[in-house]
Amino acid sequence: LLPSATSCASLIPRKPLSPCPAASAAIALQRSAQWLMPLTMIARLRHHFPALASVAIRIIGVALGYLVIVIIGRTWGPEGNGIYALVTQTAMFLSMVAIGGLDLSAVRQFSAVEAQQGRVSSGSLTALFALTAVLILIPIALLAFGGPSILGWIIDGQFSSLAIAALAMTLAARAITRMVSAVLRTQGFFLTGQSFDIVIIPLLLIAVLLGGLVASLDDLLGWMIVTGAASIALAVGTMLVIHRRRATAHVTEQNVSVRAILTGALPLWGVAVSATFADWYGLAVVTAQHGLADAGVFRVVMQIAVAFSIVSTGLFAVYSPRIGAAQSLGDWNKVARLVRSATWLSAALILPAAIV
């Protein structure tokens, strides 16, 4: 009845044997060759297409923004870029003050409905955009009644009424297209949603600039009002068309509480505002201390720097899941190796372009 020596030895935990270096190299080479096969590459590209397309849209958005400042700079010089930068950056900052975190909270709440094979009701969409409109009207009202005096410390009261109007329309366009983008992403229209958030506003303005419709800086501000209104109409119209086409008898509509969306947005508000405040404050200080011309040069430099961040965004998407998995397993050595690898790769991609 006593166990044998062989069975007792089998109960003793043994350290797993590590493969020899030659075997490890062969396995790695085989996996690499398999990955490089055309069918495997196509399958992997299809799997990662939404992420790759998202990065591509961001690259296009940055390129369009850079093209706008190039056209304005070559036509009206650094001062023109300074006026354009101050209006757009202030509008972006105020839009975050108005609806910061609301889009992320809406994505969370609406995605829960979509995950249950449901459909967000039209009443919930109406309530969400009514709340968005109210939140947008607060900073617009402040600009309408005290814009020149509130922003006068930046450029010594040179904020014209036309610039205030362009700022207000750009604020509304940025906020509404951002909310439309959030709704479309929850419905599975990732590329369409991101296009409205990133591409549509600069693309319309480029069309106007290249069309020869802008003869002065005042014309530029006036066309910013027109393109802002057009972007709002296109975004909201597209969202309504998609929402109506998705209405079927087999899908039940569910109401989403605006109070729940607003409650979820409050903790995210500070993060959203702080992310844009630094860019706006730097531009405001340069404008106040050195004038619009230097602000235009500062804007060009910042636009180039934004292009470099695309690499960091792509690397973050690749490395963050791996780092999170290693951290959950308590493998801190692997975490350190991944961080080191990401840092070296980021430096290798960024430094040559920065040096050039």
What mean pLDDT comes out for the span 205-230? 92
- Per-residue pLDDT reduced to its tens digit, 41-70: 555 556 556 656 766 787 888 889 889 988
Nearest to 229 by CA among 171, 315, 142, 277: 171
Per-residue pLDDT tens digits for 281-334: 888 888 888 888 888 888 888 877 766 666 665 555 456 556 755 766 778 888
pLDDT tens per residue, range 181-212: 888 888 778 778 888 888 899 999 999 999 98
Alpha-carbon separation of residue 33 from 36, 44, 46, 256, 288 (angstroms): 5, 14, 19, 49, 58
Q: Mind listing the pLDDT tens digit for each residue in 72-88? A: 988 898 888 888 988 89
Single-letter amino acid, residue 269: W
DSSP 3-state assignment of 152? helix
Rounded Cα–Cα distance for residues 125 and 286 (Å): 40
Average pLDDT of the residues of the chain: 78
Strands 119-120, 253-254: pairing kind: parallel
